[in-house]
Structure 1
Amino acid sequence: MKFTTRVTTAGAAIAATALLATACAAGGSGTDGGAEGDDAAQADGRVAVAYEGGIAVLDPETLEVIDEVETEEFTRLNAFGDGRTVAVTTSAGFQMLDTAEPALTDVVFDATTAGHVVSHHGKTVLYDDGTGETTILDTDVFADGYGETPEGQTYTADAPHHGVSIVLEDGTLLTTVGDENSRSGAVALHEHGDHWDTEAANDSCPGIHGEGTAADEAVIFGCEDGALMYQSGEFTKFDAPAEYGRMGNAFVSDTSPIVVGDYKDDPDAEGYLLNAVTLIDTAAQTYEVVELPDEVQYTFRDVARGPGDLAYILSTDGQIHVLDPETGELTDAFPVVDAWEGPADWQDAHPAIKVNGDIAYVTEPAQNTVHAVDLTNGEVLQSVELDGTPNELAVALG
């Protein structure tokens, strides 16, 4: 694999300060922890980019390709939450990528259909869609390195389904409810010895999908007709303005009560491009749909939260549009990539954005390129051209 670096004079100065600062910033909403232990465990994490048959590990400052590892044709990447590890979803399950080494380790959490990975308040939770099993791990479980696969606490749903789980600060397990044909809602559980007691339940969230945790530990799930919130022991349902108003992904900041969600109101629409967002104020308990300008279209990979708790939408017009969740207004736009079209299939490579601190990492599959962008001014700080086409993206920085 090769790399090229294109930096303006101003960009070089910013890169030396902003990118160094983000190496110590939190890696996302609700994540914490850090690597301790042997020399390898003390090293900083990096950026991982999946392409067909492999994963490239990039230096977060220069975007230099540090190393590559071989893997399956298509893999999904999720930061584990410890500032170093990436969970790679493969046909065998969740395999751990050590971005500091870097190396694809022998640590594999078996799963028939590896799904969501959620890190929050010192716990990282893996969900197996094929069995309905939730595996709960300490986020710092690899602080002393990657030896044997650690055993985590487990919970198995009544029926397998495409689900997600999260563990809250007080130990509450929130997990979705469904079966192979449908999904209906979520339950809040507490462990007592060899069983789990139900604290609260809600079955008014058809097609429940995804999760995000806002300020004051307000957890939002998406529904096909709105959204479902859990906070302080209670569920609250938000209804979409349309009979079908699907939210499937929540983009959050743990310092903001407002959740930005994707939104689709036509169940028969072809493709994966979306042209509206939901704004859910978990404190005021309000739900609003904001229609975007025609040229601002995006997919589930193209929204992130960043500086100032703002939302950043990587649109098909090639720009990152800045959305103020407080007002629902677009306040700025930064040109980054060439204009692009939506994917024919969700797995197809198309532009993606991940944010760490003030820096956005953006893929441009049409150019086999990854960019680092300063979100405070829109400056493209670094760009790297890969031999493979970038698809999935994960940022494992402490």
Structure 2
Amino acid sequence: MLRSVVLFGALVLGLVLAHGRGEEGEGFFRRLAVADGKEAVVRVLDEEGKLLGQFTVPSPARLYPLSGGQYVLAVHRDAGAVSFLFGGFRLEDHGDHQDVKEENPYVAATLRTGPKPTHIFAHGETLAVFHDGDGTVVLFDLRRLGLDFTPRLVATGGADHGAVALLGGALLVGGLERGRAEVYTPAGARVLTLPQACPRLHGEAVLGEVAAFGCADGVLLVQRQGRGFVGRKVPNPAGSPEGARVSTLTAHPRAGVFVGNFGQALAFLEPRESRLEVLPLPARPLRFAFDPEGEALYVLTADGHLHKVDPRARRVVGSLEVMAAPDAAPGLALGHGVAYVADPSRGEVVRVDLEAWRVTARLKVGGAPLYLALFEVVGTKH
């Protein structure tokens, strides 16, 4: 039985009034959520680094932006909980545009959902969170954020380090130890175990009607066929370096390609292709993500450089040093025309103008900022 406790407001400490940008006109409005890597603290900053809110949370958090730009999900693995953070951008629909009302950020809800929540997947109207401790998945209706945070629970057969994806109205679940992908209905009924083995399954992404999971020996593609699902394995290229594998995946519908890590390289895979195309990098990729438009992929490598990659030409088109070589994998958050990179060793967040391709600010945060997520909305401010 799902044990959930919703805590409103009690976690909020030291809120200050959000002033925002102050000008009138339509455009993008942003705030940045920053999770400390050592302490159970999440901060919300404006674009200039001004502290708008500071929250004590159940345990150190990983952060994930949610569709619409108003909420960020904080996952507290050690505490068995997740939090929904409201960034303070209230939208009022005026037909041909939306007005942006700036308010204080706050913790909208904290729920103790199950043991060791880790991997999450958000797609369309649904958010899925997998619990490594017991193999359960909780599903949230993103349309109800701010009104109802009650999730649905799906049991998947036991503890594992799991990966989840949503595809064609179904829930796909894979496990690192099980090395298989399974298909569940939203109601929780298991309808299929795919026959293809996927040893050390880790990492997932969805592109159109195809889902991809990283395997030690390649990538498993899962596609809806008729009323069912079929799998297809794409192997690692012959002669690949020892230990090179895809374990993290991303995709963007406009780019039309899956991208994964692959040792000191990136691997590209289009859904209809039967081979991985590998792009070597100057250092191992730590974080990578598409910009909101899907026109470029940005990659933070272990030498502290941020690279701009053309996903269609499969080549690096720009490199910029943003920090010294980090000890851990720092957070990377992308918005329209801007990137933020955490620098925990200096207690800073680095802001990069993607159009000018230069570092424009080093925001003093304090502590050890590690995970980042953007609140970003488009609207008109009067």
Which of residues 235, 238, 254 is equivalent to 1:239?
Answer: 235
The answer as to whether partners of 2:49 and 2:364 remain within 8 angstroms in 1 is no
Residue in structure 2 matched with residue 136 of structure 1 by the alignment:
139
Instruction: Note if 1:333 corresponds to 2:294.
Output: no
Which of residues 347, 356, 366 is equivalent to 1:368?
Answer: 347
Deviation at 1:22, TM superposition (A): 4.1
Which of residues 155, 178, 187 is equivalent to 1:183?
Answer: 178
Residues 68-217 of structure 1 correspond to what in structure 2 (within 5 A)?
A: 68-72=54-58, 74-90=60-76, 91-100=79-88, 101-144=104-147, 149-150=149-150, 152-168=151-167, 170-177=168-175, 182-190=177-185, 196-199=189-192, 201-214=194-207, 216-217=208-209
Cα distance in 1 for partners of 2:230, 2:157 equals 22
CA deviations on 1:76-106 (whole Å, 9 max, x unpaired) are: 2222434222222221311222222422344
**One-letter code aligned to 2:82:** F
Cα distance in 2 for partners of 1:212, 1:396 equals 22
Cα distance in 2 for partners of 1:341, 1:83 equals 28
Residue in structure 2 matched with residue 12 of structure 1 by the alignment:
none
**One-letter code aligned to 1:103:** Y
Residue in structure 1 matched with residue 297 of structure 2 by the alignment:
311
Runs of 4+ in 1 over 4 A off after TM superposition: none
Residues 268-283 of structure 1 correspond to what in structure 2 (within 5 A)?
A: 275-283=264-272
Deviation at 1:297, TM superposition (A): 3.0
How many pairs were matched up? 330
SS at match of 2:247: coil
Cα distance in 2 for partners of 1:309, 1:16 equals 30
**One-letter code aligned to 2:143:** D
Residues 316, 199 of structure 1: alpha-carbon distance in 2 compared, 3 angstrom cutoff: closer
Structure 1, 110-119 or 307-316: larger mean CA deviation: 307-316
Cα distance in 1 for partners of 2:83, 2:254 equals 31
CA deviations on 1:143-162 (whole Å, 9 max, x unpaired) are: 43xx6x41x23211122211
The answer as to whether partners of 2:337 and 2:354 remain within 8 angstroms in 1 is yes
Residues 196, 53 of structure 1: alpha-carbon distance in 2 compared, 3 angstrom cutoff: closer
Which of residues 56, 61, 65 is equivalent to 2:51?
Answer: 65
Deviation at 1:391, TM superposition (A): 1.0
Cα distance in 2 for partners of 1:204, 1:244 equals 18
Taking only the aligned residue pairs, the percentage that are identical comes to 24
CA RMSD across the alignment: 2.8
Normalised to the residue count of structure 2, the TM-score between the two structures is: 0.78
CA deviations on 1:352-383 (whole Å, 9 max, x unpaired) are: 31212222111122321112222233133443
**One-letter code aligned to 2:179:** S
Normalised to the residue count of structure 1, the TM-score between the two structures is: 0.75
Cα distance in 2 for partners of 1:218, 1:286 equals 16
Cα distance in 1 for partners of 2:244, 2:219 equals 9
The gaps in structure 1 that reach 5 residues or longer are 2-14, 24-44, 265-274, 344-349
The answer as to whether partners of 1:190 and 1:199 remain within 8 angstroms in 2 is no
SS at match of 2:144: coil
**One-letter code aligned to 1:133:** T
The answer as to whether partners of 1:86 and 1:396 remain within 8 angstroms in 2 is yes
Residues 228, 122 of structure 1: alpha-carbon distance in 2 compared, 3 angstrom cutoff: same
CA deviations on 1:37-92 (whole Å, 9 max, x unpaired) are: xxxxxxxx732111123111012x33322111123552222224342222222213
Deviation at 1:333, TM superposition (A): 1.4
The gaps in structure 2 that reach 5 residues or longer are 1-12, 14-20, 89-103, 378-382
Deviation at 1:278, TM superposition (A): 1.0
Structure 1, 236-245 or 326-335: larger mean CA deviation: 236-245
Instruction: Note if 1:224 corresponds to 2:216.
Output: yes
Deviation at 1:207, TM superposition (A): 0.8
**One-letter code aligned to 2:87:** T
Residues 396, 209 of structure 1: alpha-carbon distance in 2 compared, 3 angstrom cutoff: farther
Residue in structure 1 matched with residue 41 of structure 2 by the alignment:
54
Deviation at 1:328, TM superposition (A): 2.6
Which of residues 322, 325, 340 is equivalent to 2:308?
Answer: 322
Deviation at 1:133, TM superposition (A): 0.8
Deviation at 1:224, TM superposition (A): 0.9
The answer as to whether partners of 1:370 and 1:384 remain within 8 angstroms in 2 is yes
Cα distance in 2 for partners of 1:287, 1:22 equals 36
Cα distance in 2 for partners of 1:185, 1:245 equals 20
